[in-house]
Amino acid sequence: MADVMTRPWTRPQDWISLVAGAYLVLSPLWVSVSAGGAWAMVLIGLAVVVLALIALARPGAYVDEWVTAAAGALAFLAPWLFGYADESGAAWTSWIVGLIVVISALSAVPISRQVAQRQRAA
């Protein structure tokens, strides 16, 4: 299992973040949300997707995992920050996706740090 966690394109946590980010990007197609909320969901989701792709390609980029976790926290806070907390479908989507991304990204930090340390030592 450790080998899977250290090779590019194989870490499950990053795939989970990628899928969650893509879900957030596409969710305004099926949930009712204001234009501002839709843009927030799309942009935050795109950021998560890009960060997850970087993490998948570069397993030792542990700083990327922290930034992904921050993007997940932003997704969680977005309903209040961008005024769509009263639109329950969109709000719940942001809250759930945000939690999934934060948990997934933070769970990848230790192994990413180990990979980075091995790369520096080599």
What one-character-per-residue DSSP string does 101-120 give?
HHHHHHHHHHHHHHHHHHHH
Q: How far apart are CA 81 and CA 40, in angstroms?
A: 9
Are residues 104 and 13 in contact, defined by beta-carbon separation less than 8 angstroms?
Answer: yes
Note the pLDDT tens digit of each residue in 59-73: 888 899 999 999 999
Q: In the structure encoding, which two tokens stand for residue 42, read together?
A: 């799309």
Q: In the structure encoding, which two tokens stand for residue 50, read together?
A: 């890009």
Average pLDDT, the chain: 94
Note the pLDDT tens digit of each residue in 15-66: 999 999 999 999 999 999 999 999 999 999 999 999 999 999 998 888 999 9
Note the pLDDT tens digit of each residue in 91-115: 999 999 999 999 999 999 999 999 8
Query: Where is average pLDDT lowest: 12-16, 76-80, 113-117?
Result: 113-117
Closest CA to 38 of 23, 47, 48, 28: 28
The model's pTM is: 0.94
* Residue partners of 54: CB distance under 8 A and separation at least 6: 61, 64
